[in-house]
Structure 1
Amino acid sequence: MEPLDARTIPDLVRAGAAHHREREAVVDGDVRLTYADLGAEVTRCAEALAARGIAKGDRVALWAPNGWRWIVAALGIVSAGGVLVPLNTRFKGPEAAYILARSGARLLLVDDGFLGNRYVAGLAEAAAETPTPALTDIVPFAEWDRFMAVGKDVDAVVYPDDLSDLFFTSGTTGRPKGAMLTHRQSTELYVAWSELARLREGDRYLLVNPCFNTFGYKAGVIACLLRGATIVPQAVFDVPTTLELVRRERITVLPGPPTLYTSMLDHPERNDHDLSSLRVAVTGATTVPVVMIERLRAELALETVLTAYGLTESCGTATMCRPDDDPLTVATTCGAAVPGVEVRVDGTSGEVLVRGYNVMRGYFDDPAATADAIDAEGWLHTGDVGVLDERGYLRITDRLKDMFIVGGFNAYPAEIEQVIARHPAVAEVAVVGVPDERLGEVARAFVVPRAGSAFDPADLAAYCKDRLANYKLPRSFVPVEALPRNASGKVLKTTLRSR
Structure 2
Amino acid sequence: MSDTKLPLSLPALIAWAANEYKDQVAIKEETRRVSYAELAGLAQRSAAAFLAAGVNKGDRVAIWAPNMTEWIEAAIGLQSAGAVLVPLNNRLQGAEAADILRRSGARILLTYTRLEKGEPLALLESESLPELEKRILLRGEDARAQTWDDFLAGGDNLNRDTVAERAASVAPDDIADMLFTSGTTGKPKGVLCTHRQNIQVFKTWGDTVGLRSSDNYLIINPFFHTFGYKAGWLASIIFGSTTLPVMAFDKEAAMAQIESDQVTMLPGAPSLYEMLLADPARDNYDLSSLRLGVTGAAAVPVQLVKDMRSVLGFKTVVTAYGLTESTGVVSICRPDDDAETIATTSGRAIEGVEVKCANPDTGAEVPRGSEGEIWVRGYNVMQGYFDMPEATAETITSDGWLRTGDIGVMDERGYLRITDRLKDMYIMNGENVYPAEVEKALYGLEGVAQVAVIGVPKQPQGEVGMAFIVPKPGSDPDKDAVIEHASRHLARYKVPMYVEIVDSLPLNASGKVVKPELKAKAKAILGNG
Classify the TM-score, shorter chain: over 0.9
Say if 2:287 and 2:312, in contact at 8 Å, map to a contact too.
yes
Calculate the aligned-residue CA RMSD, in Å.
1.5
Count of aligned pairs = 495
Say if 1:3 and 1:227, in contact at 8 Å, map to a contact too.
no
Query: Deviations for 1:216-257, whole angstroms, at most 9, x for unmatched residues?
Result: 100011111111100001011111111111111111100011
Query: Deviations for 1:109-163, whole angstroms, at most 9, x for unmatched residues?
Result: 11122468210111122x1xxx322111111123111111121332421000000
Corresponding residue to 1:144 among 139, 145, 148: 148
Question: Distance in 1 between the 2:281 and 2:5 partners?
Answer: 39
Evaluate the alpha carbon distance shift between residue 115 and residue 462 of structure 1 in structure 2; reply closer, same or farther with a 3 A threshold.
closer
Residue 369 of structure 1: aligned partner: 391
Question: Distance in 1 between the 2:461 and 2:269 partners?
Answer: 34
Query: Deviations for 1:24-65, whole angstroms, at most 9, x for unmatched residues?
Result: 000001211000111111110010111111111110000110
Query: Deviations for 1:71-112, whole angstroms, at most 9, x for unmatched residues?
Result: 111111101111000011111111110110111111011112
1:327 Cα deviation after fit: 2.8
1:438 Cα deviation after fit: 2.6
Percent identity (aligned): 48
Q: Superposed, which structure 2 residues align to 1:207-286 within 5 Å?
A: 207-286=219-298
Residue 31 of structure 2: aligned partner: 30
1:451 Cα deviation after fit: 2.0
Q: Does the residue aligned with 1:171 lie in a helix, a strand or coil?
A: coil
1:424 aligns with 2:446: yes
Return the letter of the residue paired with 1:17.
Answer: A
1:492 Cα deviation after fit: 2.4
Return the letter of the residue paired with 2:431.
Answer: F
- Between 484-493 and 234-243, report the one with greater CA deviation: 484-493
Return the letter of the residue paired with 1:35.
Answer: Y
1:268 Cα deviation after fit: 2.0
Residue 17 of structure 1: aligned partner: 18
Return the letter of the residue paired with 2:306.
Answer: E
Say if 2:270 and 2:296, in contact at 8 Å, map to a contact too.
yes
Q: Which runs of 5+ in 1 are unaligned?
A: none
Question: Distance in 2 between the 1:121 and 1:3 partners?
Answer: 48
- Between 38-47 and 400-409, report the one with greater CA deviation: 400-409
Q: Which runs of 5+ in 2 are unaligned?
A: 141-146, 359-365, 523-529
1:135 aligns with 2:132: yes
1:210 Cα deviation after fit: 0.4
Evaluate the alpha carbon distance shift between residue 329 and residue 452 of structure 1 in structure 2; reply closer, same or farther with a 3 A threshold.
farther
Question: Distance in 2 between the 1:379 and 1:40 partners?
Answer: 40
Return the letter of the residue paired with 1:202.
Answer: S
Return the letter of the residue paired with 1:149.
Answer: A
1:359 aligns with 2:360: no
Residue 315 of structure 2: aligned partner: 303
Corresponding residue to 1:456 among 474, 478, 500: 478
Question: Distance in 2 between the 1:66 and 1:119 partners?
Answer: 15
Question: Distance in 2 between the 1:413 and 1:267 partners?
Answer: 26
Question: Distance in 2 between the 1:158 and 1:423 partners?
Answer: 53
Say if 2:269 and 2:510, in contact at 8 Å, map to a contact too.
no
Query: Deviations for 1:153-186, whole angstroms, at most 9, x for unmatched residues?
Result: 3242100000000000000111000000000000
1:489 Cα deviation after fit: 4.1
Residue 61 of structure 2: aligned partner: 60
TM-score normalised by the chain length of structure 1: 0.96
Question: Distance in 2 between the 1:96 and 1:378 partners?
Answer: 31
Corresponding residue to 1:482 among 463, 486, 504: 504
Question: Distance in 2 between the 1:186 and 1:415 partners?
Answer: 32
1:288 aligns with 2:300: yes
Residue 496 of structure 1: aligned partner: 518
Question: Distance in 2 between the 1:496 and 1:14 partners?
Answer: 47
Question: Distance in 2 between the 1:427 and 1:368 partners?
Answer: 42
Question: Distance in 2 between the 1:325 and 1:429 partners?
Answer: 27
1:21 Cα deviation after fit: 1.0
Corresponding residue to 1:469 among 470, 491, 506: 491
